[in-house]
Structure 1
Amino acid sequence: MAGQHDRERSLAELYRDDPDRADAVVWGRRGALKGAALVAMGAAVGAAIPFARHMPAGLVPAALAQGAGGPQFLQMEGKARLILQGERPLNAETPEHLLDDDVTPAANFFIRNNGSVPEPVADPRAWKITIDGEVTGPLEITLGELEQRFELVTRRLQMECGGNGRSGFAPQAAGNQWGNGAVSNAEWTGVRLRDLLRAAGVKDGARFTGHHGADSHLSANGPAISRGMRIDKAMDEDTLVAIRMNGAPIPQMHGAPARLLVPGWPGSLSQKWFTRIELRTAPHTGRGMGGTSYRVPVRPIVPGSRNTGADFTDMESMPVRSVLTSHAHGTRLPAGTRSLDIRGQAWAGDLSVSAVHVSVDFGATWQAMTVAAPPNRHSWQRWSGRIALPSDGYFEIWYRATDSQGRAQPHAASNWNPQGYGANPVSRAAILVG
């Protein structure tokens, strides 16, 4: 009776409670979805599966991948309905369909904190930033002085959490299980960091930076995070000390009154509530540096294994990724829909995106989309196109981007690491027609 009861559970429940058992029930030993298994899978996803013959053996349909419960959502004044990833510290992800704007509104901006959020300051113009270390003349400057003394520039810049895509790793890596939505592309106004560094006088021995902010660790034991980067990135024309976001003061949750903006590299470098930058001869040793923190293997390691990170390297330019923004995962379309105009965004760290391809037959065939040029370097790029749907039923839109060096999103997350950085597998969204 117990075995019969297991088979009578819905596939959604079975995948939630026992995914290995569900896979065995649906796929059997041959890996061919047919007969009663095909009927059961169709019932689970709510429609017939026209391209079932192309469905890879063992693939859990996107419609069932989140399990029966689904995500929890953040309810916060001034913010959209973001996916809650954690409450202490507060972290929330933007659903892909809310990333449709070329310039991400503040309400749709993802939330990534490492500790407590400081109290707002009474006078933002009096906020002080210090530049010291390997400089000829340490500099302390208020934001009011900064605006008067240095050129302000405005750029559309992508910023992405280093762990974006972490949920794609198997086995599961440590940390918030981000999908693809720990990213934004706001319009930032500020001063080029290199202008400040040059004003302080960069010594010949300066090779690295160390970043400091006003947020403290939840334990109240020191700063929440304090990272650094190679001096080359600090001198990049798009690395900013930002004071405005989308033409308005930066919201408190996102680092007011000033933050670093280090586009294309892990967002942890974009220090919020920014107070100080030091130039160093050796890599920074602050919280979030060394070991396995924001570092990836130089050579692949066994997934799920323990590692000290001794032979890892710092994660720098983020890997190529794409999102589908025109249709939310789980969209239902009217019966008889035979074509669909779709669009999304794609980006590739310091590089650009050369192509985006889409499949609706589980990767058997791929169709090239149109990819627009970015408005400036380090901004994401709009992709768009039209797909054909041969009948009513359950479809998955698979989408993958290729960067300017020819590297495409892989079918499965590669280079597993304990803290889950750099996962950028092909993404997919479920749609139902009819």
Structure 2
Amino acid sequence: MLESMSSPDIVKPTPPDLLEDTGSGLDYGTNPARMLSDITPIDRFFIRSHVPTPAIDDRTWTLRIEGDGVGQTVTYRYDDLLTRLPLVSVIRTIECAGNRRVLFGEELGRSFSGTQWGRSAISTAEWTGVRLRDLLEPAQLTAQAREVMPESLDAIRARRPLPLVKALADDTIVAIAMNGEILPADHGFPARLVVSGWLGAASIKWLGRIEVSTTPLHVPWNTEDYVLIGPGYAAHGPALGPAITEPALSSLVELPWPAHLHAGPQLIRGRAYAGEGRVSTVECRIGDGPWEPAMLTSPGSAGVWARWQFRWDADPGEHVLRVRASDDRGQAQPDSTPPNELGYNHESVLAHPVMVRGAR
């Protein structure tokens, strides 16, 4: 039986068998060994929040669309999204840009501030809601409209601009349901944005306002945080570095860290994710052995992770299982990641420690 635990700052239980505690009191990662299917169940979908989950009454909630890039301000109520507008469903993966920050620090021999994620700030759900472009249309976008910025109703009013083309994409939606259920409080009730293939910070939870602007918008979430800062990353205007859009190409193994296995035939399973791209290949390597292809068992698509499996006849002893993914744009996971000050977008080949017990 799973132990029922919860943080005072979030709503759903956080049993350690399902969710990995980062120590922040707000952020809990999906246990990779308990992912199971393509879609992550709500009880183990990772939680990333800057502040405690707000309590929002859907009977008084509104979503306001305004700004100098629209012809008129439009306000929606919850019932409008539920019953008066066309609903669509998309399966999409969401990943925090800080995923694998601890591994990044170990690679560089240093530590980073921020949420201490291992491999667990990534999950996939079926999201149901209204296309953002359908909500924007009655506001009459002007020819000069350039950026669209969703804003949260949490205590810090989290917000992050999108270019207009991304806001109008088929799979950018304002979600009101998750895996067929009303959106849970920790995941953005009553409504959240889902931005396909982009970092999790773009998929703003607890929506209350959307600004459409004719000029670039600068907020802490695209000038100071969720940007790449350091040598090789040029500052631009008020931004300390380039704003992150896609998370890094990455892979993970569905085993504990470190893993403990018995000697003999093993079927190793895992995931790989390529943001707006599509995972094309996954390769595995045991120790200093050759790279061997893994089988893609669900190839995913743009914005969705792929699942893979690899057969290994394991010998007793300590091993390192290395995994690297490639995508349909010709990118492959490198041996190392260029450093940046906030520990974002770790993309290095995964090196997963494995202890194999027992005799042949």
Report the TM range for the smaller structure's normalisation: 0.7 to 0.9
Say which structure is richer in helix: 1
- C-alpha contact 2:96 2:247 (8 A) present in aligned 1: no
The 3 A distance-change label for structure 1 pair 425 and 386 is: same
Say which structure is richer in strand: 2
In the alignment, what sits opposite 2:257?
Answer: 329
Choose from 265, 286, 290 the match for 2:219.
286
For the residues of structure 2 that align with 1:157 and 1:310, how far apart are their CA atoms?
29
For the residues of structure 2 that align with 1:294 and 1:74, how far apart are their CA atoms?
33
In the alignment, what sits opposite 1:198?
Answer: 137
Write the mapping of 1:411-422 to structure 2, written as runs, cut at 5 A: 411-414=335-338, 416-422=339-345
**Structure 2 stretches of 5 or more lacking a match?**
7-11
For the residues of structure 2 that align with 1:408 and 1:186, how far apart are their CA atoms?
25
Choose from 220, 230, 242 the match for 1:313.
242
- 1:136 aligns to 2:65 (yes or no): no
SS in 2 for 1:339: strand
- C-alpha contact 2:160 2:201 (8 A) present in aligned 1: yes
How far apart are 1:332 and its partner, in Å?
2.9
Mark the structure with the bigger radius of gyration: 1
Q: Once the two structures are superposed, what CA deviation does each residue of 1:68-88 show, in whole Å capped at 9, x if it has no partner?
A: xxxxx9932533422222335
Aligned identity (percent) is 32
In the alignment, what sits opposite 1:115?
Answer: 51
Aligned amino acid, residue 232 of structure 2? P
In the alignment, what sits opposite 2:9?
Answer: none
Q: Once the two structures are superposed, what CA deviation does each residue of 1:340-391 show, in whole Å capped at 9, x if it has no partner?
A: 11111111110010110111124x41110112454654121111121232x2
The 3 A distance-change label for structure 1 pair 276 and 383 is: same
- C-alpha contact 1:397 1:431 (8 A) present in aligned 2: no
* Equivalent residues, number: 343
SS in 2 for 1:86: coil
For the residues of structure 1 that align with 2:165 and 2:127, how far apart are their CA atoms?
21
Choose from 352, 365, 389 the match for 2:278.
352
For the residues of structure 2 that align with 1:352 and 1:311, how far apart are their CA atoms?
30
- C-alpha contact 2:199 2:245 (8 A) present in aligned 1: yes
**Structure 1 stretches of 5 or more lacking a match?**
1-72, 218-222
Aligned amino acid, residue 227 of structure 2? R
SS in 1 for 2:27: strand
Aligned amino acid, residue 250 of structure 2? R
SS in 2 for 1:146: helix
Aligned amino acid, residue 324 of structure 1? V
Aligned amino acid, residue 119 of structure 1? A
For the residues of structure 2 that align with 1:83 and 1:206, how far apart are their CA atoms?
41
How far apart are 1:139 and its partner, in Å?
1.0
Choose from 127, 131, 141 the match for 2:61.
127
Aligned amino acid, residue 157 of structure 1? R
In the alignment, what sits opposite 2:113?
Answer: 174
Q: RMSD value over aligned CA atoms?
A: 2.5
How far apart are 1:330 and its partner, in Å?
3.3
Aligned amino acid, residue 61 of structure 2? W
For the residues of structure 2 that align with 1:311 and 1:330, how far apart are their CA atoms?
36
